Amino acid sequence: MASEYGELVNLDNLHYAKVLNDTADSYQTGTNKYLAPAAEMKKEAKVDTTPRYYDGKAMFSSSSEAFTNITLTVSGVPSRLAAELTGKPYDVTRGIMVDTGDVSKAPYYAMSARAELGDGGYRYYQFLKGKFSLGAETAKTKEEKVTASTVELTYTGLVTIHEFTMPDGTKSGAKGVQADTTDAAFAGADAWFSQVQTPETLGKPGALTMTSVPLDKATGVLESVKPVLTFSNAIAADAVTVIEADGTLVAADKSYDSTGKVLTLTPTATLTSGAAYSIIVAGVKDVYGQMLAATAIKFTIAS
């Protein structure tokens, strides 16, 4: 049986996902993607402890934890990925990253990994919000013996603005979560990298589903209708359109709410009394990469 005190002897499965939204109302990320072959991870939280003296003794102390500094050693980072992680321009037509020296546009990312415990089992890590920066990168000439040159990535882990529900029912922002397979209560290892894990979610993302207003085959719909599609997950892409009965495209503005789940279609002109229309739901992909089967929602305007 694996010991819960096993040493950390291997690191793999580095993943990253862009933080799409971190507000009081919601926390959302994009698709979890493979980062790079991992060699080492050093994690150190910045903690400040201030003792207070009374009667010539240190009787009380207060502590605060700031950011967590994580240094990753990986085999290499493609220029395309380096640009993505640091927010620097990348010319896809010529395949070049432009190093502007400006890191102000670096996006926030979630980052996850797995470490093997020495006598069996794994520890899973999920950091919820931070920024990447490129560290040391060494290139050497060939020698008689092979000399491996690695790349360092620094990830600065921060506390989310969004407050999650804690195990005791209180609300708090979070830097991340971690779990050991040696704990019998932990059953989320198989799906850890399928999405960003949070204090409120564990395992695979829910299936992508949709509801609509108006409903399919609805009649007596107002001419001023603004159809609304509500999805179970935040949406990354869509090709939703509104058409007339003869297939003519209806001009309509599309907008999502702050959660990325509610799509409102606003026709630019009043719809025709008594006419039939269809909402063509196609090309819908959620932030986890799941596709929704294409469908049509038909409705008729009141005469």
Question: What CATH number is attached to the domain comprising 267?
Answer: 2.60.40.1220
Residue 234 domain-assigned?
yes
Q: How far is CA 69 from the centre of its chain?
A: 20
Pairing of strands 295-301, 218-221: parallel
Q: Which of 239, 39, 259 is nearest to 150 (CA)?
A: 39
Encode pLDDT of 44-88 as tens digits. Answer: 877 777 888 888 888 887 777 778 888 888 888 889 999 999 999
Residue 166 domain-assigned?
yes
The span from the CA of 20 to the CA of 195, in Å, is: 13
How deeply is 264 buried, as exposed, middle or buried, from its count of CB atoms within 10 A (0-12, 13-18, 19+)?
Answer: middle
Same domain, 181 and 219: no
State the DSSP H helix or E strand holding residue 80, giving kind and residue range, or none if neither: helix 79-86
Quote the pLDDT of residue 1.
54
Residue 102 domain-assigned?
yes
Same domain, 280 and 144: no
Domain boundary among 159, 191, 223: 191
Domain boundary among 191, 226, 241: 191
Encode pLDDT of 192-236 as tens digits. Answer: 999 999 999 888 888 999 999 999 999 999 999 999 999 999 898
Low-confidence ranges of the chain (pLDDT < 50): none
Instruction: Find the domain containing 225 and state its range.
Output: 210-301
∠ Cα 172 174 180 (to 5°): 120
As for how many domains the chain has, the answer is 2
Same domain, 237 and 162: no
Q: Give the length of the chain.
A: 303
∠ Cα 36 4 130 (to 5°): 35
Strand partners, 226: none
Quote the pLDDT of residue 144.
62
Same domain, 165 and 292: no
Q: Which of 35, 46, 38, 196 is nearest to 129 (CA)?
A: 196
Q: pTM of the full predicted structure?
A: 0.76
